Amino acid sequence: MEDGDRSETEEGDMARLLAAVGRDASMEAFEVVFRNYAPRIRSYMMRLVRDPQMAEELMQETMMTVWRKAALFDAEKGNVSAWIFTIARNLRTDSFRRTRRADFDPNDPAFVPDPEQPADAAFEAREAEARLHEAMKGLPAEQRDLLHLAFFEEVSHSEIASRLALPLGTVKSRIRLAFGKLRSALGERP
């Protein structure tokens, strides 16, 4: 990246470090991953649970899962931050709802698999990462705020509408606009 885009450099490093954790159970590599993500995941947890001790426990549980599942992370196609987000989100939802978390299962015989990935998927994943960050910077504040509310406060789009005193239709169209832009920045159908 031209002027040393910090997060992009980190993302590539994180993918290599996580691969070392998965391959060699490397404590040195894990410490770097931990020190980068632990504070971020703690603050993600704090926003919803609002209890420092519980947030700390959920963060520890998230990072423990990262350690245990590191070998399952696909450094070629995956994105470390997105992968850790999904682990944190699932733990947070599971701790809040006593109900089971309905999820699809890629090993289910009824699952319709993805079409074959192109051979240069690793390069594309890094490219996509950079382009997504650029596109996110270009989003209007109202659309960024909405993404923050959705992911960090875990509120549904109808709750967002009532919190911001906006018509539901406005919230829906902002969501569609934001992801339309992000998808087209990634070269996908908006």
Q: Which of residues 72-131 bind Zn ion (CB under 5 A)?
A: 129
Tell which phi-psi region holds residue 152, choosing left (phi > 0), alpha (psi between -120 and 50) or beta.
alpha
Of 77 and 120, which CB lies nearer to other proteins in the complex structure? Answer: 77
Select from other proteins, Zn ion, none the partner in contact with residue 62, using the beta carbon and a kind-dependent cut-off of 5 to 8 Å: none
Nearest distance, CB of residue 10 and Zn ion, angstroms: 7
Q: d(Cα 129, Cα 182) in Å, to the nearest integer?
A: 11
For residue 9, the minimal CB distance to other proteins (Å) is 11
For residues 12 and 24, the answer to whether their CB atoms sit within 8 Å is no
Q: What is the 3-state secondary structure (H, E, C) of 59-103?
A: HHHHHHHHHHHHHHCCCCCCCHHHHHHHHHHHHHHHHHCCCCCCC
Residue corresponding to tokens 């599971």: 94
Name the segment binding Zn ion (CB under 5 A); options: 1-9, 110-118, 142-150, 158-166.
1-9
Rounded least distance, CB 82 to other proteins, Å: 3
Q: Which 6-35 positions form the footprint of Zn ion (CB under 5 A)? A: 7, 11
Given the rule CB under 5 A, which residues bind Zn ion? 7, 11, 129
